[in-house]
Chains A and B, each alone.
Chain A
Amino acid sequence: MPETLELRRARPLLGTLVEIAARGSEREHLARAIDAAFAAVSQVHRLMSFHARGSDVSRLNRHAWRTALRVHPWTYAVLEEAQRVARASDGLFDVSVARILVARRLLPAPRGVRVPDRRACYRDIRLLPGFRVRFHRPLWLDLGGIAKGFAVDRAVQRLRSVGIDSALVNAGGDLRCFGPMTQRVHVRDPQAPSRLLPLADLASGAIATSAAYFTRERRAGRDVCAQVDPRGGGGVPAGSVSVAARRCITADAWTKVLLLGGARFLGRARRAGAVARLIG
Chain B
Amino acid sequence: MSDFIHWLAPAAIAPAAIAAVQHCYAAQYLTLEQAQATIFPEARRFAAAPVRFSPDQARQIEKLAGAPVRVPEQQVWEARSDSRLLGWFIVDEVYGKHEFITYAVGLNADGSVRQIEVMDYRETYGYEIRNAAWRRQFVGKRHGDSLKLDQDIRNISGATLSCRHIAEGVRRLLALHEVALR
Asked if A and B bind, the verdict is: yes
Cβ–Cβ contact B1 & A196, under 8 A:
no
Query: Nearest Cβ distance between residue B99 and chain A, in whole angstroms?
Result: 9
Q: A194-B125, A195-B20, A278-B13 are in contact. Are A16 and B163 (CB under 8 A)?
A: yes
A side interface size, CB within 8 A:
60
Cβ–Cβ contact A194 & B23, under 8 A:
yes
Which one of A56-64, A74-82, A240-248 contacts B? A240-248
Query: Nearest Cβ distance between residue B16 and chain A, in whole angstroms?
Result: 9
Closest partner residue, chain B, to A15 (CB atom) = B163
Closest partner residue, chain A, to B7 (CB atom) = A200
Q: Is the CB of B21 closer than 8 A to any CB of chain A?
A: yes
Cβ–Cβ contact B152 & A203, under 8 A:
no
Q: Is the CB of A208 closer than 8 A to any CB of chain B?
A: yes
Query: Nearest Cβ distance between residue B142 and chain A, in whole angstroms?
Result: 15
Size class of B's contact patch? 35 or more
Cβ–Cβ contact A12 & B2, under 8 A:
no
Which one of B70-78, B80-88, B116-124 contacts A? B116-124
Cβ–Cβ contact A277 & B13, under 8 A:
yes
Q: Is the CB of B156 closer than 8 A to any CB of chain A?
A: yes
Cβ–Cβ contact A187 & B166, under 8 A:
no
Q: Is the CB of B147 closer than 8 A to any CB of chain A?
A: no
Closest partner residue, chain A, to B163 (CB atom) = A12
Cα A204 to Cα B118 with chains together (Å): 26
Cβ–Cβ contact B158 & A189, under 8 A:
no
Cβ–Cβ contact B11 & A172, under 8 A:
no
**8 A Cβ contacts from A196-248 to B:** 196-205, 207-211, 214-215, 240, 242, 244, 246
Residues of A within 8 A of B27 (CB): 8, 10, 19
A16-B160, A198-B18 known, 15 other contacts, Cβ within 8 Å:
A9-B118, A11-B118, A19-B29, A170-B155, A173-B157, A173-B160, A191-B15, A193-B125, A196-B25, A198-B8, A198-B9, A200-B8, A202-B5, A209-B158, A242-B157
A-B CB contact pairs (8 Å), 27 listed: A10-B117, A12-B163, A12-B167, A15-B163, A17-B118, A31-B38, A168-B155, A170-B156, A184-B154, A184-B155, A187-B158, A193-B125, A195-B20, A195-B21, A196-B23, A196-B156, A200-B6, A200-B8, A200-B9, A203-B3, A204-B4, A208-B157, A275-B1, A275-B5, A277-B13, A280-B13, A280-B15
